[in-house]
């Protein structure tokens, strides 16, 4: 927070609008569980060509990330945490 | 052939029923033949807002179950020529009617009326599905609050999924004084967030409370809300009417003693 922000009181309507925009991003972007499952399986399939994945530890979800240009703006992002068990040998990859 | 319009919101208590009663009354005053269908089975209220609660004989479920003909269940307003109510059943629940039955009913009513309004219950379950089933277009009511706008967004998404493309927004209970202070979202703010066309702004007006107490909708009288409702009616009929200047109230209303 900047020092000048301390003196700039934000109206509650602006707060409401910002909160609303944030909550709608996640409301609107929430995929159905079936689609998330399909995305997950496709990611596993592609990555398995190159690395051995810990399928149990795989975590995929839609979250929001703050844009770099504006701190009060955010956009949906697909975040995946994919634990790798083993890098596959280079020889297997053409 | 008339048009079927559903009035919906997702969230409860934002003024769907009051809006339905007033728009129906307004259109009837403009010479249209209008029927208002209360689809809130088990929690009916459109009858009391219209002041017709003592005249109910048959209801929506009776019509669907063919205990009576649709015309027998319609209650004709004595105060407003051309306005009819098809009340909901009070002792049944939403599962008493199916979307297919509602489609059929809507088709029948369209033949005799210029406008058929479906007053939708709160929620997104069976009652909502019933109310939107036979509708040609939708009016979404919201108040300038985070919770109501969020639910409206959900409803817009569900209507899109049901291939309803003609949806318009009514921002209800707007307090212009609070908007000016920066403590209430403006209609423009709500429109910006929801990305949907605006068909009306209804100010928070104590006359609405009085009108509801009396069971006499105020559309068409000289109150601000009464004018706002009438403007919505004109826009429903396809006329281009400019939005009320809500800032006027403090000055002109006092000047003319309204």
CB A79 within 8 A of CB A53: no
Q: What residues contact B144, with CB distance under 8 A and at least 6 apart?
A: A13, B171, B173, B174, B179, B184, B185, B186, B187, B189, B190
pLDDT of residue B258: 42
Average pLDDT over residues B219-229: 96
Average pLDDT over residues A3-11: 62
- CA-to-CA distance for B141 and B149, rounded, in angstroms? 9
Of the partner residues B153, B154, B182, the one whose CB lies closest to the CB of residue A11: B182
CA distance B180 to chain A (A): 10
pLDDT of residue B123: 97
pLDDT of residue A93: 47
Where residue B70 falls among pLDDT bands split at 50, 70, 90?
very high
Of the partner residues B154, B157, B185, the one whose CB lies closest to the CB of residue A16: B185
Q: Is the pLDDT of residue B117 over 70?
A: yes
Angle in degrees, CA B243, B244, B249, rounded to 5: 160
Q: What residues contact B246, with CB distance under 8 A and at least 6 apart?
A: B174, B176, B201, B203, B224
Where residue B252 falls among pLDDT bands split at 50, 70, 90?
low
Q: Do A23 and B150 touch (CB under 8 A)?
A: yes
Q: What residues contact B142, with CB distance under 8 A and at least 6 apart?
A: B9, B11, B14, B148, B149, B151, B152, B169, B170, B171, B172, B190, B194
Q: Find the residue in B nearest to A26 (Cα).
A: B150
Q: Is the pLDDT of residue B80 over 60?
A: yes
Give Dmax over CA atoms of chain B in angstroms: 56
Of the partner residues A11, A12, A24, the one whose CB lies closest to the CB of residue B193: A24
Q: Range with the lowest mean pLDDT among A43-47, B27-31, B99-103, B201-205? A: A43-47
Q: Is pLDDT larger for residue A6 or for residue A23?
A: A23
Which residues does chain B have within 8 Å of residue A23's beta carbon, measured at their own beta carbons? 146, 150
Average pLDDT over residues B73-87: 97
Q: Is the pLDDT of residue B158 over 90?
A: yes
Where residue A56 falls among pLDDT bands split at 50, 70, 90?
confident
The helix or strand, by DSSP H or E, that contains position A58, with its residue range, turns out to be none
Phi/psi at B100 (5° precision) = -65, -40
pLDDT of residue A68: 65
Where residue B41 falls among pLDDT bands split at 50, 70, 90?
very high
CA distances from B73 to B38, B110, B116, B176 (A): 12, 16, 15, 41
Of the partner residues A13, A23, A27, the one whose CB lies closest to the CB of residue B185: A13
Q: Could you say which residues from 165 to 224 on chain B have a Cβ atom under 8 Å away from some Cβ of chain A? A: 178-179, 181-186, 189, 193
| Closest C-alpha to B165, from B197, B202, B118 | B197
Q: Is the pLDDT of residue A94 over 60?
A: no
CA distance A52 to chain B (A): 39
Provide the mean pLDDT of chain A. Answer: 76
Best of A8, A16, A28 to mutate (most B CBs within 10 Å, chain B): A16
Q: Do A23 and B146 touch (CB under 8 A)?
A: yes
Average pLDDT over residues B178-200: 96
Q: Find the residue in A nearest to B157 (Cα).
A: A28
* A8–B contact, CB cutoff 8 A: no
Provide the mean pLDDT of chain B. Answer: 95
Average pLDDT over residues B179-190: 96
Q: Do A11 and B186 touch (CB under 8 A)?
A: no
Q: Find the residue in A nearest to B185 (Cα).
A: A13
Where residue B248 falls among pLDDT bands split at 50, 70, 90?
low
Average pLDDT over residues B166-189: 97
CA distance B192 to chain A (A): 10
Q: Range with the lowest mean pLDDT among A17-21, B42-46, B104-108, B114-118? A: A17-21
What does the domain layout of chain A look like in residue ranges?
32-88
Q: Is pLDDT larger for residue A94 or for residue B187?
A: B187
* Fold held by B3-255: Rossmann fold (3.40.50)
Q: Is pLDDT larger for residue B134 or for residue A90?
A: B134
Q: Is the pLDDT of residue A58 over 90?
A: no
Tokens of B141: 């009511």
pLDDT of residue B255: 54
Strands (E), chain B: 3-8, 34-38, 75-76, 83-86, 115-119, 137-142, 167-174, 197-203
Average pLDDT over residues B66-77: 96
Q: Find the residue in B nearest to A11 (Cα).
A: B182
pLDDT of residue B95: 94
Where residue A26 falls among pLDDT bands split at 50, 70, 90?
confident
ipTM reported for the complex, 2 dp: 0.83
What does the domain layout of chain B look like in residue ranges?
3-255
Q: Do A27 and B150 touch (CB under 8 A)?
A: yes
Q: Do B150 and A11 touch (CB under 8 A)?
A: no
Q: Is the pLDDT of residue A19 over 70?
A: yes
| Closest C-alpha to B76, from B87, B68, B84, B64 | B84
CB B27 within 8 A of CB B195: no
Where residue B204 falls among pLDDT bands split at 50, 70, 90?
very high
Q: Do A17 and B179 touch (CB under 8 A)?
A: no
Q: Find the residue in A nearest to B156 (Cα).
A: A28
pLDDT of residue A91: 52
């Amino acid at each position: 927070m900047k020092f000048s922000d301390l003196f700039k009181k934000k109206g509650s309507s602006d707060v409401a609008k910002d909160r609303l925009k944030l909550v709608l991003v996640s409301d609107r972007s929430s995929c159905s569980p079936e689609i998330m499952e399909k995305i997950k399986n496709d990611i596993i399939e592609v990555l398995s060509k190159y690395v051995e994945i810990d399928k149990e530890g795989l975590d995929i979800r839609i979250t929001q990330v703050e844009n770099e240009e504006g701190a009060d703006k955010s956009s949906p992002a697909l975040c995946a945490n994919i634990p790798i068990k083993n890098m596959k040998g280079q020889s297997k990859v053409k | 052939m008339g048009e079927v319009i559903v009035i919906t919101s997702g969230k409860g208590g934002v003024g769907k029923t009051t809006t339905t009663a007033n728009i129906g009354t307004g259109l009837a005053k403009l010479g249209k033949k209008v029927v208002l269908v209360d689809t809130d089975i088990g929690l009916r209220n459109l009858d009391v807002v219209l002041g017709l609660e003592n005249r109910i004989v048959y209801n929506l479920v009776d019509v669907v179950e063919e205990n009576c003909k649709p015309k027998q269940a319609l209650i004709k307003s004595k105060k407003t020529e051309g306005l009819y109510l098809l009340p909901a059943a009070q002792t049944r629940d939403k599962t008493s009617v199916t979307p297919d039955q509602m489609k059929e009913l809507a088709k029948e009513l369209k033949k005799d009326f210029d406008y058929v309004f479906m007053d939708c219950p709160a929620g997104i379950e069976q009652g909502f599905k019933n109310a939107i089933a036979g509708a040609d277009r939708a009016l979404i009511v919201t108040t300038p609050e985070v919770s109501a706008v969020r639910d409206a967004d959900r409803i817009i998404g569900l209507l899109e999924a049901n291939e309803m493309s003609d949806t318009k927004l009514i921002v209800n209970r707007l307090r212009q004084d609070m908007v000016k202070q920066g403590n209430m979202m403006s209609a423009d703010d709500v429109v910006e967030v929801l990305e949907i066309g605006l068909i009306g702004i209804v100010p928070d007006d104590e006359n609405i409370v009085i009108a509801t107490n009396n069971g006499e909708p105020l559309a068409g009288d000289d109150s601000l809300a009464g004018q706002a409702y009438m403007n919505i009616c004109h826009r429903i009929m396809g006329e281009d009417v400019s939005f009320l200047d809500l800032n006027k109230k403090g000055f002109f209303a006092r000047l003319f003693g309204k």
